[in-house]
Amino acid sequence: MKKLIALACFITLPCLALADSEQSLIGKWSCNGVQDAGDGLTILMGSNVNFKKNGRFHATMKLIFKDPELETTVVATYRSNWALKDGYLDEKPTYVKIKKLSAAGRDMRHSTFAKDIKASLMSYDPDDLAKVSFQSVSRVSFITEDVTIHCQR
């Protein structure tokens, strides 16, 4: 009986320790968030992401910029290298492609705004990392100063 209890503890402890590790992020997630950007602008974010074992991150994301006067939709593919560092997600963008950018029914993929979005997605600031908060094996949140992104498997 003692051996059974010891074995149960031994099996459970690695799983608990794993909850805050890189291994816990590996796989596919569906994520969303809402950001109040001020001046009446709200940004709705949705994405399907895949954290890979090799430290790569792939996402297809949809951003909707809602302004009192105009709604703009962006669909982009995004890749980065990622790692967990002291409970924070450190990701360095490697590729962004704006697949769709429309406002008022117009294609704006080749506009200055598209270039600005791409530049923003490609930017990297080592001091601006997202805090990773695991709620369970199937739920995680990424928390920054500006927004919280909620993900589930």
Mean pLDDT per 10-residue interval, the chain, length 153 residues: 35 40 88 92 96 96 93 96 94 96 93 92 91 94 94 96
Q: What is the pLDDT of residue 68?
A: 86
Q: What phi, psi does 127 have (nearest 5°)?
A: -95, 0
Residues whose CB falls within 8 Å of the CB of residue 29, separated by 6 or more in sequence, listed in order: 48, 49, 50, 51, 140, 151, 152, 153
Q: What is the pLDDT of residue 56?
A: 96
Q: What is the pLDDT of residue 107?
A: 95
Report the predicted TM-score, pTM, of the whole model to 2 decimal places: 0.81
> 3-class DSSP state for residue 43?
strand
Q: What is the pLDDT of residue 23?
A: 78
Q: What is the pLDDT of residue 143?
A: 96
Q: Is the Cα torsion angle 105, 41, 49, 54 positive or negative in sign? A: positive
